[in-house]
Amino acid sequence: MISLISSLDPASLSFLNGLDQIQRRSERAQRELTTGLRLNTLSDDPAQVADLLVTRAHLDRTTQIDANLGQVKAEVDTSEGALESAAKLLDRAQSLGTQGQSAFTTAESRVQIAGELGSILQQLVGLSNTNIQGRYVFSGDSDQKAAYSIDLTQANPTGVYQGSAATRQVQLPNGSVLAISKTAQELFDSSNPQQNVFQSINNLRTALLNNDQTAIGNSLSTVNSAGTYLNGQLAFYGTVQNQISDAQDSGSRLETQLQAELSGIQDADLTQAITEFQQAGISQQAALQSRAKLPHTSLFDFLA
């Protein structure tokens, strides 16, 4: 059996290698024109791959944080709005208490005032159960259950807190975290009687029902201090709103910066890619034409 071994001469091998390089240049330029990206494969620029991956990861993280901040902002805005409404109800309760305290107010009128205070207490419980997107925002981490219920026939109409501690935080673009919520227990049912919104309203309501002018005066004082406390809690949410707004602005600037960095790493120079593609085509055509003009000889030519 005769084994035939064929090989290319150095000139032919050099020609084919050159042609292959031209083809790769053309294909790379075509990929850049098609995708708009300079880096489509690891081999396009290995030295830039690490920077590309790090920048992409940083951009993805910043984008996710911005999305989280948007969701949290809606929650905090809703919570702040609920507390504003609660503060207005406390103002109304103070006004009713002042009216009920007057020596000129009859027992019958005090019963009517107590009825309105009962309605205010019901509204406050409703606000403590504020729900957004299926979450009770003042129920702490147990946000699938209402914080309080109400039964005005009971000595303690609002019962006990049904939620849990609030540990929710949101990450900011600078890497720090921000506590974003308080519980209904902290806000409306403090262990400090001077800050307990529910208890102060109910005590005033009970004093009016009992036509007890002294108790009305004492209860009214507690309603006033509870109102001051609740307004202080409003300041917490106002501060959180400002911090979230600042974080969103910062995140937007960082996202723009990272997008620019990413673009600088991976985006193609389309003008250059067009030029490269055209030059590769010209080089390929010239190489083929030049090769075609070379003399072709074989063993038969020498034997002729």
Q: What residue segments make up the domains of the chain, in order of their start?
A: 68-262
Q: Which long-range contacts (CB under 8 A, 24 or more apart) does 268-274 make?
A: 268/32, 268/33, 268/35, 268/36, 268/37, 268/38, 269/38, 270/32, 270/33, 270/36, 273/29, 273/32, 273/33, 274/29, 274/33
Residue 142's pLDDT band, with cuts at 50, 70 and 90, is: very high
Q: Return the pLDDT at 7.
A: 60
Q: Return the pLDDT at 52.
A: 73
Q: Return the pLDDT at 183.
A: 97
Which of 68-82, 170-184, 272-286 has the lowest average pLDDT? 272-286
| 26 contact partners, CB below 8 Å, separation of at least 6 | 276, 277, 280, 281, 284
Secondary-structure breakdown of the chain: helix, strand, coil percentages, each rounded to the nearest 5 = 70, 5, 25
Q: What is the pLDDT of residues 168-187, one digit of tens each?
A: 999 999 889 999 999 999 99
CB 86 within 8 A of CB 188: yes
Q: Return the pLDDT at 1.
A: 43
Q: Return the pLDDT at 25.
A: 62
Which of 33-42, 60-69, 153-162 has the lowest average pLDDT? 33-42
CATH number of 68-262: 1.20.1330.10
* Average confidence score pLDDT of the chain: 84
Compute the average pLDDT of residues 144-158. 95
Query: Of the candidates 17, 31, 1, 77, which has an alpha carbon nearest to the alpha carbon of residue 277?
Result: 31
Structure tokens at 271: 């003008």
Predicted TM-score (pTM) of the model is 0.72
pLDDT at 98 over 90: yes
Instruction: Tell me which amino acid residue 87 is.
Output: A
- Map residue 6 onto helix, strand or coil: coil
Q: Return the pLDDT at 51.
A: 77
DSSP character at residue 44: G
CB 190 within 8 A of CB 159: no
CB 202 within 8 A of CB 188: no
